[in-house]
Amino acid sequence: MTFFSRKHLRLLLLPALLLLTGCAGSAKETADSTENEKLSAVATIFPQYDFLRAIGGDHLDLHMLLSPGAESHSFEPTPGDMITVSECDLFVYVGGDSDAWVETILDSVDTSNKEVVTLMDCVDTVAEETVEGMETHGHAHDHEDEDTDHDEDSHDHDEDSHDHEDESHGEQDEHVWTSPKNAMRIVQKLCDALCRLDPENADDYQANTASYLASLTSLDEEFSDVTANASRHTIVFGDRFPFRYFADAYGLDYYAAFPGCSSESEASAKTLSFLIDKINEEQIPVVFHTELSNEKMTDCICEATGAKKLLLHSCHNVSKDDFENGATYLSLMEQNVAALKEALN
């Protein structure tokens, strides 16, 4: 996919948005009034969608823009998506470079009666990180215009430097929800937004939130228990690594083929060799892959080392089957507890 600057996105999306919003009024006015009884909430991706359905329950008319099974880093909004965002009561998005298109829409509509929540504004963010052995080319959000603050040489580093010392400058890691500790903060912010929009049902939102926060606290304690009693604290991914916040939360070191937002799917021989050597040296028993990946790199590493392949789910998106079978952030993270325990023992 070719990634555009915000200026280019504005030029491409604004005409369609203005045309469609001009035509949408009559359709909206003739819609059945019962459809407007619920708050309209739109989430760009699965984590905040799932948080909202846990908090809002039957009070929300909830919509997720990213289709189950779709590649999250190459999402492009349709004209229909733009209308959905412009007309909703609550809009929730991540807020990183992958969501540059959002600003074009929000700058073009009246948001005075709309609540907008940005996940990256709910928590303390950190720069996307490059660790030893990781490939840095092919980043999904690279730009080539004046909006880019990155220096071309920003990824050059001393190969002998300490692991985790080299961090990309300027771009913050977007995968804030992967830490249950962050999820708690996000959920509370979403509850606050719903209560402001719909004070009549605030008691329900607050009760649902209290219950959900208790589940997230329990989940956090499970991960803390796993890492506190682990015989090692290093994990390896033959894949992208969207778990920076998770790793920081539980004191984990990691090695991976690519950063979390890389557009690459196949690693170089040098990267594969590094990961294979690292696994053999430290006798790492498990190699992780993320959801919806082709798993080829992970398979190659496992064949070379005898390590076991396991999924660590980032919850960025879910497969169609998982979505239809009722998968949730909590259920997927509970699976991660078991996978992490196996990898660290």
Domain spans in the chain, listed from the N-terminal domain onward: 6-19+37-123+178-217, 127-139+165-176+219-344
pLDDT at 3: 39
pLDDT at 169: 35
pLDDT at 206: 98
pLDDT at 76: 85
Q: What is the mean pLDDT of residues 165-188?
A: 82
Q: What is the mean pLDDT of residues 258-275?
A: 85
Q: What is the mean pLDDT of residues 65-84?
A: 89
Q: Decide if pLDDT at 163 tops 60.
A: no
153 or 20: which leads in pLDDT? 20
Q: Are 149 and 6 in contact (CB under 8 A)?
A: no
Q: Decide if pLDDT at 271 tops 60.
A: yes
Report the range of poorest mean pLDDT among 1-15, 64-78, 202-216.
Answer: 1-15
Q: Decide if pLDDT at 341 tops 90.
A: yes
Confidence of residue 108 (pLDDT cuts 50, 70, 90): confident
Q: What is the pLDDT of residues 179-222, one digit of tens each?
A: 999 999 999 999 999 999 999 999 999 999 999 999 999 999 99
Q: What is the mean pLDDT of residues 286-301?
A: 95
Beta strands in the chain (DSSP E): 39-43, 60-64, 90-93, 115-118, 127-129, 167-172, 234-241, 253-259, 286-289, 308-311
Query: What percentage of the chain carries pLDDT values higher than 90?
Result: 67
pLDDT at 159: 38
- Measuring CA to CA, which residue among 244, 237, 342 is closest to residue 300? 237
Fold match flag (6-19+37-123+178-217 vs 127-139+165-176+219-344): yes
Q: Decide if pLDDT at 299 tops 80.
A: yes
Q: What is the mean pLDDT of residues 266-284?
A: 94
Q: Decide if pLDDT at 73 tops 80.
A: no
Assign 103 to helix, strand or coil.
helix
- Measuring CA to CA, which residue among 311, 285, 287 is closest to residue 299? 287
Q: Are 98 and 172 in contact (CB under 8 A)?
A: no
Q: Decide if pLDDT at 122 tops 70.
A: yes
pLDDT at 262: 73
Q: Judging by DSSP bridges, how do beta strands 90-93 and 127-129 pair with one another? A: unpaired
CATH of domain 6-19+37-123+178-217: 3.40.50.1980
pLDDT at 36: 58
Looking at every residue in the chain, the average pLDDT score rounds to: 84
Q: Are 213 and 187 in contact (CB under 8 A)?
A: yes
Q: Decide if pLDDT at 254 tops 90.
A: yes
Q: Looking at domain 127-139+165-176+219-344, does it have CATH number 3.40.50.1980?
A: yes
Q: Decide if pLDDT at 158 tops 70.
A: no
User: The whole model's pTM is what?
Assistant: 0.83
Confidence of residue 138 (pLDDT cuts 50, 70, 90): low
- Measuring CA to CA, which residue among 312, 177, 172 is closest to residue 238? 312
Q: What is the mean pLDDT of residues 5-24?
A: 48
Q: Are 61 and 41 in contact (CB under 8 A)?
A: yes
Report the range of poorest mean pLDDT among 144-158, 204-218, 236-250, 331-345.
Answer: 144-158
Amino acid of residue 114: K
